[in-house]
Chains A and B, each alone.
Chain A
Amino acid sequence: MSPYILEADALRKDFGGFSAVAGVNLRIQRGTIHALIGPNGAGKSTVFNLLTKFLQPTGGTITYNGQDITRLRPAAVARLGIVRSFQISAVFSHMTVRDNLRVALQRRLGTSFHFWRDSAGLDVLDGRAEQLIAAVGLQDAIDVIAAELSYGRRRALEIATTLALDPELLLLDEPMAGLGREDIGTISDLIRQVGERYTVLMVEHNLSVVSALSNRITVMARGQVLAEGSYAEVSANPDVRSAYMGAAHA
């Protein structure tokens, strides 16, 4: 088996005349936490959208576990085990924490089209749901409406629902965005734990988080890969330095 779980080859996305992603090669090694960094507008989220098929690539191929997934639909990609989070936190706001988990878990039951059944049938999922909720430290909020959670706890809930799918590869888009200091610590720990069992690809601006968590880093700028390597290698690269300076990035 190839050591790479996901390979993107010459990936490209044009919006009108503008190439947001202009020929990106990316290989994610199984079992690693891989970070994708770069200044604002570098094309990181677009790469995420391409890998998860929320956007259709203009060119290039995506291979996942040896299977070509370039033409699949986003839900089909998710079913293969690539599950993503979003830059703006994505929970089902008007549903309780428990119901958020249920939605993620119930697909496996194969009853999701059963409109004639009582939803009490989903109670069998509660054991697993509670386990996952506890794993991210939300056990005290199990019947709280998601919208009432703090931002950091919503991030945690999002990660719990992602884990509920038993994914192989997690794509996290700026998991630390908008979090306070303590929350960053909590979510970092969570990602580290997750990284022990799954492969993680994350976009993140917070470089101390990136250096602490990731084994490998790809730097993007203007739709292209600028450098790739360990944190030390990448941060010593003069191109990377100038890209960050040039973009006047904090």
Chain B
Amino acid sequence: MPDFLHVLPPAPVLFGQLLIGLINGSFYAMLSLGLAVIFGLLNIVNFAHGAQYMLGALCAYVLLTAFGIGYWPALVIAPVVVAASGIALERILLRHLYQVNHLYGMLLTFGVALVVEGLARQQFSASGNSYATPATLTSAWNLGFMFLPVYRAWVIGGSLAICLLTWFMIERTRLGAQLRAATENPLLTRAFGINVPRLVTVTYGFGVGLAALAGVMAAPVYQVNPQMGSDIIIVVFAVVVIGGMGSIMGAIVSGFGLGIAEGLTKVFYPQASTTVVFIIMAVVLLVRPNGLFGNMAAAQQGHATGGEALVKARTPVARRALLLAALVAGLLAPFAVYPLFLMKVLCFALFASAFNLLLGYGGLLSFGHAAYFGGASYVTAYCVKLLGFDPVLGIVAGVLGAGALGTVCGYLAIRRQGIYFSMITLALAQMVYFLAVQAPFTNNDEGIQGVPRGTLFGLVNLNDPLAMYYFVFACFAIGSLVVYRAINSPFGNVLRSIRENEARATSLGYFTERYKLLAFVLSTMIAGLAGSLDALVFQLASLTNVHWTMSGHAVLMTILGGVGTISGPLVGAFIVAGMENYLAHLGSWVTVIHGGIFIVCVMVFRRGIVGETAQLVLAWSKASRPPVDVGRFRRRFQ
């Protein structure tokens, strides 16, 4: 027997994993297909796609357990029901966002996803509910080299058929032709008498239905549980980045391909099976930044992130007075409120400011800041507890670690713009999360506990809550100062111009990606500072800090407080930390509330609390003056 055969795993293992890979790939393909169809016409990344997939599965489960309706009827009923909810969502909410920056659509659907997942967790056990394989498909075929369960064959064959059917419909039928025309040029298509808004609604409903259908098909394969959607959607985002959303076939091929790649990795190098898709994504970004099937048209950038409030205390005197007031309030605060709570607020606020530096002043929406926050907290906890670093050195190590990670991730992410940037940051952060789950030093679910706070410069014992508070406050002040200075620096000026109009900044001779990278690294280091402090304050570094929900927190705090405002993140942090502390007994309802806040902010409150307040003050002070001449802005299309 030739030697290399020993390296190969036994055939049943190989084919078994390949089969699992194909099954996963089937769902990736169906979901990324739906995402691509929706994105093509609506220009919105449907973050709720995972939640809608989960709803499909849950719906089938409820149909069975509560009404005794079996798999086959559910295969029709569940997608229709979920698609109807999607149509309602499009009609009531999404519709109003087509004229604003595409990032808002992503934020809104993220909020919807949180609401749906939170509600589902409230109703159904998180551990999973099994859904029996339909009786007609329980047998298995003997293929000679392995047994093929009929249900699995059906999933692969069925989803492949559905994908191809969708492709055929879009590329080869009249309806598809209308759809493609509307994608290319909605105005012109409208002029031809095609009802584009209805087409948009139908398309969204179709994409959502496809997700729900995948959910029903997945129900007997996986456990039906509320987080099955968020588990899969991030991988699907990576798939979409790899395939490029411009091509229907691209979505299908990369979905199945990556499923197979995952399966093969499980055979040959199981440790990497959860991260392999993200690694492939990183490689693709390096060699083919527009994705394997991406075309330039689809990769073109969106317009500048509008909507940020341009708020700034106008006079230096007012600014100084505000700063002084904040300082005094910060120094006196621990005598009025629990220091531990205040420290949490400060950590969160610093974290949100880091995020705000990127979004508010660079127009870059990172959905992966948990990686730097949580990564730094692990580094600091490890250095302080196991290597005996003193707290300051521990923090420095954490900040540098976050910066190093930020440099790598930033380098990859800035190769794409707009919503792609957001998806890449999210996917890379998920990879960091999986690494944290696997790495031995993070102790998995337990985390690094009992991190000593130590003594500051060998003098001040930080176990004293007040001393610790003032230490955190000083770090917060330094971090905020760095952010403030960066915003109001020559660099900040260029960064803002890139946010406003990247093409124009390029035509002025700026290598814009270098500025974006610097902003990204700065932001990750500040996020790292926040994470390091968090580890010392709570004497713990855990998976919570690297989980995507933590990234969501950064977005939430900033949007709520006010994107592009200096004090917005602090205000947002107060509210979010407060909710976490005082509403903890409500369980999953907190997630629902977070989602609700996202929806409200995106729909009616885009400037956030600080921004809207400043706007009111501004309107009030301007009331006596005549309105500004907004000019004759006639935009030419084409």
Q: Please provide the chain B residues from 594 to 638 with a CB less than 8 Å away from any CB of chain A in the complex.
A: 628-636, 638
A91 on the B face (CB < 8 A): yes
A111 on the B face (CB < 8 A): yes
Q: Is the CB of A117 within 8 A of B489?
A: yes
CB-contact partner of B632 in A73, A106, A180, under 8 A:
A180
Q: Please provide the chain A residues from 71 to 102 with a CB less than 8 Å away from any CB of chain B in the complex.
A: 73-76, 78-79, 83-88, 90-95, 99-100, 102
A104 on the B face (CB < 8 A): yes
In the complex, how many angstroms separate the beta carbon of B507 from the nearest chain A beta carbon? 5
Q: Is the CB of B493 within 8 A of A122?
A: yes
- B488 (CB) vs chain A CBs: closest residue: A119
B492 on the A face (CB < 8 A): yes
B494 on the A face (CB < 8 A): yes
In the complex, how many angstroms separate the beta carbon of A86 from the nearest chain B beta carbon? 7
Q: Is the CB of A74 within 8 A of B506?
A: yes
Q: Quick check: which of B116-124, B135-143, B456-464, B496-504 contacts chain A, the rest being far away?
A: B496-504
In the complex, how many angstroms separate the beta carbon of B604 from the nearest chain A beta carbon? 21
A212 on the B face (CB < 8 A): no
Question: With A75-B506, A103-B508 as given contacts, are A178 and B485 in contact (CB-CB < 8 Å)?
Answer: no
- B307 (CB) vs chain A CBs: closest residue: A94
In the complex, how many angstroms separate the beta carbon of B273 from the nearest chain A beta carbon? 37
A15 to B632, alpha carbons, bound, how many Å?
A: 34
A52 on the B face (CB < 8 A): yes
Taking CB atoms, residues of chain B closer than 8 Å to A84 are 507
A191 to B506, alpha carbons, bound, how many Å?
A: 22
- B512 (CB) vs chain A CBs: closest residue: A75
A11 to B482, alpha carbons, bound, how many Å?
A: 48
Q: Is the CB of A75 within 8 A of B501?
A: no
- A153 (CB) vs chain B CBs: closest residue: B631
- A87 (CB) vs chain B CBs: closest residue: B636
CB-contact partner of B507 in A78, A95, A111, A117, under 8 A:
A78
Q: Please provide the chain B residues from 513 to 540 with a CB less than 8 Å away from any CB of chain A in the complex.
A: 514-515, 518, 522
B486 on the A face (CB < 8 A): yes
Question: With A115-B518, A153-B631 as given contacts, are A78 and B490 in contact (CB-CB < 8 Å)?
Answer: no
Q: How many residues of A contact B (CB 8 A)?
A: 57
Interface of A is mostly: loop
A188 on the B face (CB < 8 A): no
Q: Is the CB of A75 within 8 A of B510?
A: yes
Q: Is the CB of B632 within 8 A of A151?
A: yes
Taking CB atoms, residues of chain A closer than 8 Å to B633 are 151
Q: Please provide the chain B residues from 288 to 340 with a CB less than 8 Å away from any CB of chain A in the complex.
A: 295-297, 304, 306, 308, 310
Q: Is the CB of A107 within 8 A of B510?
A: yes
Taking CB atoms, residues of chain A closer than 8 Å to B503 are 54, 86, 90
Taking CB atoms, residues of chain A closer than 8 Å to B497 are 92, 95, 100, 103
A78 to B510, alpha carbons, bound, how many Å?
A: 8
A68 on the B face (CB < 8 A): no
B491 on the A face (CB < 8 A): yes
CB-contact partner of A119 in B297, B492, B507, under 8 A:
B492
Q: Quick check: which of A24-32, A142-150, A193-201, A217-225 contacts chain B, the rest being far away?
A: A142-150
A22 to B490, alpha carbons, bound, how many Å?
A: 42
CB-contact partner of B509 in A54, A75, A88, under 8 A:
A75
Q: Is the CB of A107 within 8 A of B489?
A: no
CB-contact partner of B490 in A100, A106, A147, A154, under 8 A:
A106
Taking CB atoms, residues of chain A closer than 8 Å to B511 are 73, 75-76
CB-contact partner of B500 in A95, A149, A165, under 8 A:
A95
Query: A119-159 vs B: 1/0 string, CB under 8 Å?
Result: 10110000000000000000000000101111101100000
Q: Is the CB of A78 within 8 A of B631?
A: no
Question: With A74-B506, A90-B504, A145-B310 as given contacts, are A115 and B631 in contact (CB-CB < 8 Å)?
Answer: no
Taking CB atoms, residues of chain A closer than 8 Å to B638 are 40
Taking CB atoms, residues of chain B closer than 8 Å to A83 are 507-509
CB-contact partner of A94 in B308, B508, B628, under 8 A:
B308
CB-contact partner of B505 in A88, A103, A119, A121, under 8 A:
A103
Chain B positions near chain A (C-beta within 8 angstroms): 295-297, 304, 306, 308, 310, 482, 485-486, 488-494, 496-497, 500-501, 503-512, 514-515, 518, 522, 628-636, 638
In the A-B complex, list the 8 residue pairs whose CB atoms are closest, starting with the nearest: A150-B631, A78-B509, A92-B500, A115-B491, A90-B504, A115-B486, A103-B497, A178-B634
Contacts beyond the supplied A109-B490, A114-B490: 5 A-B pairs with Cβ under 8 Å: A15-B297, A83-B507, A90-B501, A114-B491, A161-B508
Chain A positions near chain B (C-beta within 8 angstroms): 15-16, 40, 52, 54-55, 73-76, 78-79, 83-88, 90-95, 99-100, 102-104, 106-107, 109, 111-119, 121-122, 145, 147-151, 153-154, 161, 165, 174, 177-178, 180
Q: List 15 A-B contacts (CB under 8 A).
A: A78-B509, A88-B636, A99-B496, A100-B497, A107-B508, A112-B515, A115-B486, A116-B485, A117-B485, A118-B485, A118-B488, A119-B490, A122-B490, A148-B629, A178-B635
